[in-house]
Chains A and B, each alone.
Chain A
Amino acid sequence: MNARLFCVLTVLVLVLGVGTVFAQEPVTLTFWNYWDGNNGEVIQSLVDQFNAEHADIQVENVFFGWGELLPRLQTAAAGGDAPALAAADMAWVPLLANSGKLAALDSYVEAAGIDLSDFYPALLAVNQYNDQLFGLPVSTNNLELFINNDLFTAAGLDPAQPPTTWDELASMAQTCADPDNGVIGMELYTQPGEGLTWQFQVYLWQAGGEFLSADNTAAAFNSEAGLSALNYWRSLIDSGASSLSPWGAFDQGKACMRMDGSWMVSIYGSQTEFAFSTAQMPIPDGGQPATNMGGEHLVIFAGDEAQQQAAFTFAQWLTDTETQVTWDEQTGFMPIRQSVADSADFQTWLNETEPRLIPFVESQQYAINRPPVAVYAELSDVFSASLERALYGQISSEDALTNAEVAVNALLR
């Protein structure tokens, strides 16, 4: 009994003693993100590593489903209960910045001496709102061409010789299409929604067009480039190279080609039975390479100065070249900065482990960001709904673009 009491007292004294020595409590940060599965495991291990290296900052990594994180962030911010920082979908950054709950990062970036020119400019542009920087890119991806090797070979085509121009894409798709067996040559996203909008933007940019004006205040897609992109889609459908069927044929092994995101490389690797390869998206005559991108951006919520500073320290660490090389190699995300793409470590990994990601990495420099406007979701809905009518042959391409222009300008006003 006495021995036990002695033990308890000793432990108590020790705990109190140690407590006084380390009276400086570490700053605790909550970090919300929607990275799941393998990505979720990688971010947890990186957070653990950060915590081990920083005695004064402890980050708690909290997962939310992708569909839930935005409403959850908005409720929490409204209730004054926001996390210290979050990894937000690219499309959410202007929305969150517009809510006034985010901390501007310009002064922190300057104080830390971060070289912003190493980041891809289009990725940084997403975070500019009212001439202030509200986030840092942390992960990205882009769209390129996927080819079903089995269908390609069966049609007498060579997957090692992918199409490089719009004309080649059209003719190969037509050769490969087999309507009797439900095989589509080139799968297009023809249902209304962001799926259509962000696929179409690639063709628009390739043809030299712009989606919105430079200051994001008016529609700019009703142009010669817009018309040629839309007419190209319609010609693919009319010639039988593509079809108006719902998105998903490529997953089922029923489409020879489609444009999709770099993240699908690992998914097709595990969830399908057909062999596939990837290539850069073919471009029109006189056009230019371009692709669309998605990904996540670190945003810091306004809080007390110590918390904001600590959150920035974590953000800086997570977007640092060394951390990013590990992150990209373990997740398959695209580089967010040039130094990652150029690093020997990353290049070796790419060539040895997943060469099918090479077209995506090479195209990252041509990736363009969707305009960072708060009404983007609504804008995408009206745009795609108008284009869909042209794809179904209900109205002319000219009318579709004009209607979309009127609707988009009304939203931007």
Chain B
Amino acid sequence: MNSSTMTWDSHEAETRFSLSRWLPRRWYLHLVLIAGALVMIAPLLWMLTLSLKPARLTYSPPYLIPTTFEWSNYVQAWEAAPFARYYLNTAIMAGGVTLGQLLLGSLAAYAFARLTFPGRNLLFLAVLGTMMLPFQVLLIPSYLIVKDLGWLNSFSGLIIPRMVSAFGIFLLRQHYLSIPKELDEAALIDGASRFGVWWRIILPLSRPALATLAIFAFLFAWNDFLWPLIVTDKPDMRTIQLGLVMFQGRYGTNWTLLMAGTVTATVPTIIAFLLGQRQFIESIALSGVKE
């Protein structure tokens, strides 16, 4: 796939040679991308702008570039609830969920992609079937199980039920299937165990898929609202998303503080995405060279 893209690129460059002296290569693509980027960034900019407005200008007409800089909104938002504690809780939860999904997902996917055992396809279908169930249906049963295990208000309750996702298993299995079986066989002949093959051959070749899953799992866990809401009621076990509703009351929303809190809560996800994205691109380059 990668090599064919390369040839198409060079053809394109040749035919457009005269234009490319004036405009960046594939300028029309850039135009579309810039328009798309503006649409994507507008809500974020609006969030930032509103977070820096004094409260009395809350309802004045919206604009995108900050003109007022009310940094005290951030201090007020941070102090409205124990956000440092919420941050820590969310980081532990999101980290635990992400690690769990990577480890358990990649092991399960290896079994489904490489091992032959009776009922494998049926079992895989069953795993996929769980993707069809909306979480709302599972809410009460999951809550009752967690309660009976005594995991309410604990990291066990926040993390363990979310450590496996059918989506993750599916994503990784599909990627494993694209890795030539000969590599496994060569390693097995060289005396590697099944775990060795998984650890030394499959995982290093799956970095793009793992990075994708890690981003998804982390963002999902970081932004998750319903599950932490259901399994925690002690203030010191709450997560950031639960803390933000502090500003959205029955009788009115404190928009400036809500947006300041949201900006603070969004920063880690942006960092996670940037880190993951770099890994993502590196890995594609790596696998392209190998092939």
Contacts and interface: CB of A to CB of B under 8 A. Distances in A.
Contact of B56 (A39, A261, A270): A270
B174 interface: no
Contacts of B252: 263-264, 267, 271
A63 B147 contact: no
B143 interface: yes
Interface string A132-150: 0000000001000000000
Nearest to B231: A75
Contact of A36 (B56, B235, B249): B249
B69 to A, nearest CB: 18
7 contacts: A39-B251, A75-B139, A75-B143, A79-B144, A267-B251, A272-B59, A273-B60
A78 interface: yes
A253 B252 CA distance: 17
Nearest to A333: B251
Interface in A297-320: none
Range class of the A interface residue count: 35 or more
B121 interface: no
A126 B147 CA distance: 33
Given A62-B233, A267-B251, A273-B57, A78 B140 contact: yes
B140 A79 contact: yes
B171 to A, nearest CB: 30
Given A37-B254, A65-B248, A253 B242 contact: no
A270 to B, nearest CB: 6
B251 A261 contact: yes
B127 interface: no
Given A68-B229, A75-B140, A75-B230, A271 B56 contact: yes
Given A75-B230, A251-B59, A37 B249 contact: yes
A353 B235 CA distance: 34
Contact of B59 (A35, A37, A65, A253): A253
Range class of the B interface residue count: 20 to 34
A62 to B, nearest CB: 6
A189 interface: no
What are the 9 tightest A-B residue pairs by CB atom distance, in nearest-first order?
A65-B245, A263-B251, A66-B250, A36-B249, A251-B59, A267-B252, A271-B58, A252-B59, A273-B56
Interface of B: 55-61, 80, 139-140, 143-144, 147, 152, 229-230, 233-235, 242, 245-252, 254-255
A81 B56 contact: no
A328 interface: no
Contacts of B80: 37
A155 to B, nearest CB: 21
A272 B80 CA distance: 21
Contacts of A68: 229, 242, 245
Q: Is the interface of A mostly helix, strand, loop or mixed?
A: mixed
Interface string A34-73: 1111010000000000000000000000111111100110
Contacts of B247: 36
Contacts of B245: 64-68
Contacts of A264: 251-252
A101 to B, nearest CB: 14
Given A64-B229, A273-B57, 16 more contacts: A34-B250, A36-B249, A62-B234, A62-B235, A65-B242, A65-B245, A65-B246, A65-B249, A66-B249, A68-B229, A68-B245, A78-B140, A81-B147, A248-B59, A251-B58, A272-B59
Nearest to A332: B251
A11 to B, nearest CB: 27
A37 B253 CA distance: 10
A141 B55 CA distance: 24
A398 B56 CA distance: 43
A239 to B, nearest CB: 26
A89 interface: yes
Interface centre among A36, A81, A272 (most CB of B within 10 A): A36
A183 to B, nearest CB: 14
A183 B234 CA distance: 47
Nearest to A66: B250
A263 B57 CA distance: 19
Contacts of A89: 250
Interface centre among B140, B245, B254 (most CB of A within 10 A): B245
Nearest to B245: A65
B229 A72 contact: yes
A62 B60 CA distance: 34
Contacts of A141: 251
B126 to A, nearest CB: 27
A34 B39 CA distance: 35
